[in-house]
Amino acid sequence: MATADSLTPRRRRWLFVRGLLRAFASAVLMVVGYYTLPLGSLSDVSVVAELSVGVVVLVGVVTWQVRAIERAKYPAIRATQALAVATPLFLLLFAASYYILSVDDASTFTENLSRSDALYLTVTIFATVGFGDISAQTESARLFVTAQMLLDLVILGLGLQVFLRAVKRGKANPDDPDD
């Protein structure tokens, strides 16, 4: 089985760039979906139900990505792509939840959130920056923010571990690799 170490520098760069382009295209599609899907109409649906469906989708995507890493010819490159897809999906899931909460009840946060505001809040929580300009004002919003903070830790710890283990299994399994 070819490994990334046995590649020429040019081929390694090409595979890395191709992986980044795939991940970037996926992230762009997810962001376009976030900004164009009629999320405001979901305010009648339980945000907990919406978030639950989103988490199931996220788990499905991560499971699929882990299997793809294990089968990949270059598992480390594939794992980089997987992280670059799973992370925006996770963040956009919470941004959509915050946006729907805000549409449902404008007093949920210190200000009514646009989609960009909701994404900004999500990223500041994920990055543990927490500027304080937007904060949760209701108990349900605080629970969502708390859930995101806890899941951030899970994603950073367990998520990275899952992908790294998949890379090890992929490197150990030379049977029928793909790109």
Cα angle value 60/120/115 (rounded, 5°):
75
A 10 A CB-CB count for 177 gives 17
Domain ranges of the chain: 9-172
Q: Which residues, including other chains, have CB under 8 Å from residue 92's CB and lie 6 or more apart?
A: 30, 31, 33, 34, 119, 122
Domain 9-172 CATH (choose: 1.10.287.70, 3.60.9.10, 3.30.70.580, 3.30.70.260):
1.10.287.70
pLDDT per residue, tens digit, the chain (179 aa), is 455 567 888 988 898 889 889 989 999 999 999 999 998 777 666 788 888 888 899 999 999 999 999 998 888 888 888 888 899 999 999 999 999 999 988 899 999 999 999 999 999 988 888 777 888 888 888 888 888 888 888 877 777 788 888 888 888 876 555 55
This model's pTM is above 0.85: no
